[in-house]
Amino acid sequence: MNERQPTRRPGGRSARVGAQVHQAVTDLISERGYGNFTVGEIAARAGVADSSIYRRWGNLETLLTDVALTRLNAQSPMPDTGSLAGDLRTYAAQVAREITGPDGPAVLHLAVALSSSGQQGRQAGADLRAERTRQLQSMLDRARDRGEHAPDAFEVLDHILAPMYIRVLFGMELTPDYVDGLVDRLL
C-alpha cells in the first residue's frame, strides 16, 4: 500500500508563522529593547501559541539569534554594474536602506546585544560576519576578474559597513553623500 507523504509547500503556514514571529520580535525590540519581553509576549503579538515557538526555536536566545541572522543576511542580489566603484556604491546604498528601514535599527541593536550574550551570541556574530564576507567576496572577485584593483572583504566591512552600522546604532543620519563618501575613501 502506497501512502502519500505530505509535501511541504515553500511559503506555506510554516513560513507565514516564522515571518509573524520574526516581526513580533523586531516590533518588541523597537518598543522595549533587548531582554524586556518573554516568549509568551512574542507569541501573543504573533498570534501563535508559545508552544509553537518553543517547538521551532527551542528557547528565546535561539529565536533572537535566528531573527538577527535572517534580517541582517537578507539582501538584494549583489550588484553587478560593470565597475567596482559602481558595485560598492550600489551595495552600500542597499545596505543603508535596509538598516535605516522600519526594522533596521532594532535588528542592529539585537545583533549587538546577542554578540555579548554568551557562546550562542558570539556564534551568531561570527555567522553574520562570515555571510557578509562571502557576499562581498563574490563582488570583489568579479572586480579582480575584470582587472580592477579591489580591497579585501574586511576592508569593505571596516570602511563602509561598520561606519554605517555605528551611525544607525547611535541615531545618526545616513545620507547618500555620506555613504558615497565612505566608498570614495575606501577606493
Q: What percent of the chain clears pLDDT 90, i.e. is strictly above it?
A: 53
pLDDT attached to residue 14: 84
Average pLDDT over residues 126-153: 90
Q: Is 54 strand, coil or helix?
A: helix
Neighbours of 173 (CB within 10 A): 8
Average pLDDT over residues 52-63: 89
Kindly report the pTM of this predicted structure. 0.74
CA distance 40 to 123: 25
Q: Where are the alpha helices (DSSP H) in 116-175?
A: 119-145, 153-156, 162-169
Residue type, 186: L
pLDDT attached to residue 52: 92
CA distance 23 to 128: 19
Average pLDDT over residues 63-77: 75
Average pLDDT over residues 25-49: 90
